[in-house]
Amino acid sequence: MDSKTAIVTGAARGIGLATTQLFLREGWNVAMIDRDAPALETAAAGLEGAQPFLCDVSDPEQVAATVPRIDAAFGGINALINNAGVADFGPIAETDFARWRRVMETNLDGVFLMSQTTLPQLRARKGAIVNIASISGLRASTLRVAYGTSKAGVIQLTKQQAAELGEFGVRANCICPGPVRTKLAMAVHSQEIIDAYHDAIPLNRYGSETEIAEVIVFLCSDRASYVTGQVIAVDGGFESTGVGLPALRA
């Protein structure tokens, strides 16, 4: 049987790169999308079965040009992982419209554009969409007016996709990662924030990129063939708990 093909956006590093590597280990081909050309080139070098595609997912013209190139290169698309994201945290008063748009255009517009553009290919293969939101889309926190709102939008967008695309055999699910030590997270997490997360997370630690990738790849596999419209927090239990966990532990 021919290999399946996944598109992974934001594949040059972090969760996207770990997801690419896991798909390859499971025998898939991967179209690696990123807008950071040098990082993408370095990441894709030596990854057999993967091809890099330089594309900004927030740009409708680039998306429209890239998806047919991927389709031609691999002869079909079985899964789309909308992972590209930006974290730009700030208070409401300091979130000017340009900052708001910068977050929305990648985190929310990008998911919409990539999903809509790959739909004919996904329908043809009865494929799967996995959107990467965040625990910040499930719970409000300070400084996340744009980021948290964009991720809550991704959660709802996933449910809209599942509702409408199920009849074509296309599944759509959403993953909400807890904190993972990637470049994105470390740019906004001080040691104090890291300690506070450890306190609030029942498993008492950050997740790894591979732990997020495992759930993404599962959701794209035939083992998840009856799973759609779901929002899965891969967060060490963070979302399930309330106040007082450190005190109760002690």
Ligand X SMILES: NC(=O)c1ccc[n+]([C@@H]2O[C@H](COP(=O)([O-])OP(=O)(O)OC[C@H]3O[C@@H](n4cnc5c(N)ncnc54)[C@H](O)[C@@H]3O)[C@@H](O)[C@H]2O)c1
Q: Give the three-state DSSP class for 74.
A: helix
Among 90, 153, 179, 236, binds ligand X (CB under 6 A): 179
Q: Does position 134 bind ligand X by CB under 6 A?
A: yes
Cα-Cα-Cα-Cα dihedral sign, residues 115, 118, 123, 129:
negative
The count of residues interacting with ligand X (CB under 6 A) is 31
Segment interacting with ligand X, rule: CB under 6 A, options 70-78, 115-123, 172-180, 216-224: 172-180
Q: Which of residues 67-96 bind ligand X (CB under 6 A)?
A: 83-87
Q: Does position 185 bind ligand X by CB under 6 A?
A: yes
Nearer to ligand X, 124 or 215 (CB): 215
Label residues 122-159 b or e (16+ Cβ within 10 Å = b): beeeebbbbbbbbbbbbeeeebbbbbbbbbbbbbebbb
Nearer to ligand X, 126 or 183 (CB): 183
Q: Does position 35 bind ligand X by CB under 6 A?
A: yes
Q: Which residues contact 51 (CB under 8 A, 6 or more apart)?
A: 29, 30, 31, 32, 44, 70, 73, 74
Count of positions (residues) in the chain? 250
Q: Does position 215 bind ligand X by CB under 6 A?
A: no
Among 44, 57, 122, 219, binds ligand X (CB under 6 A): 57
Q: Give the three-state DSSP class for 132.
A: strand
Among 21, 31, 34, 161, binds ligand X (CB under 6 A): 34
Q: Does position 21 bind ligand X by CB under 6 A?
A: no
Among 7, 8, 12, 32, binds ligand X (CB under 6 A): 12
Exposure of 94 by Cβ count < 10 A (0-12 exposed, 13-18 middle, 19+ buried)?
A: exposed
Q: Which residues contact 244 (CB under 8 A, 6 or more apart)?
A: none
Task: Please give the Cα distance from 52 to 32 (Å, whole number).
Answer: 5
Q: Does position 184 bind ligand X by CB under 6 A?
A: yes
Is 206 in the active site? no
Residue 65 C-beta: closest distance to ligand X, Å: 13
Q: Tell me which residues touch ligand X (CB under 6 A).
A: 9-10, 12-16, 33-36, 39, 56-58, 83-87, 106, 110, 132, 134, 177, 179-180, 182-185
By annotation, the residues acting in catalysis are 147
